[in-house]
Amino acid sequence: MARCVARELVEGSGIDAGRLVDLLVERAMAEVGNYYYYTLLRLHLVGVEGDALRRVIDDAREEDRNHYEVLVPRIFELGGSLPAVLGGSGGLAALQDLPAEADVPDILPVLLKSAEESVRAYTHLCALTSGKDHRTYNLVLAILHEEIAHQVWFLEFLGRGLAEPRSYHQRAISPFVTPFLQSPRVAGLKTPAYPA
């Protein structure tokens, strides 16, 4: 492998860089898998309740795509790479074969479980990198904030029936992760402002 200064610095801080890259790749694959499954799910949601959940899923789907897009550059900065074939075993892909004809009461626990898994994974990554790999830490912390929001949206949806989750209305897409996005496609987004 060619010399990689970012990786050397991370290893010098006491982190197993190979293990860190593996975890970041795992999360990147889970994020893109979530995007894929959310896309399928939204097509099958029907009725008033399905419409309301679809709006929540659309935002979670956009944010998971953004999470994938910000993880990939860091993986390459650390000398890693992505698998040539999209397999992925984390996120929604890990949970079950999702029903083709989705039904809101059946889907919500699946979505909630996936959000909880993400919160656990990013909390672990924060603990692993805190005070050592500042760039990865800032990145995974920003993603963690948004994963917790997804968890809250699904919990609120479970508790409020047809009503849309309150916190869902209170913010734009990816307020924490947008400053890390490199794609020009996001230049027109209304959000930014990474909280100090």
The footprint of Fe ion (CB under 5 A) covers 31, 64, 67
For Fe ion, give the closer residue by CB, 15 or 144.
Answer: 144
Round to whole Å and give the CA distance between 72 and 134: 17
For Fe ion, give the closer residue by CB, 64 or 69.
Answer: 64
Least distance in angstroms from the C-beta of 64 to Fe ion: 4
Within 13 A of 92's CA, how many CA atoms are on the CB side?
24
Least distance in angstroms from the C-beta of 16 to Fe ion: 24
For Fe ion, give the closer residue by CB, 31 or 117.
Answer: 31
Round to whole Å and give the CA distance between 78 and 137: 13
Least distance in angstroms from the C-beta of 48 to Fe ion: 27
Least distance in angstroms from the C-beta of 21 to Fe ion: 18
For Fe ion, give the closer residue by CB, 68 or 157.
Answer: 68
Round to whole Å and give the CA distance between 145 and 143: 5
Assigned token pair, 93 = 């892909």
For Fe ion, give the closer residue by CB, 59 or 133.
Answer: 59
Least distance in angstroms from the C-beta of 32 to Fe ion: 10
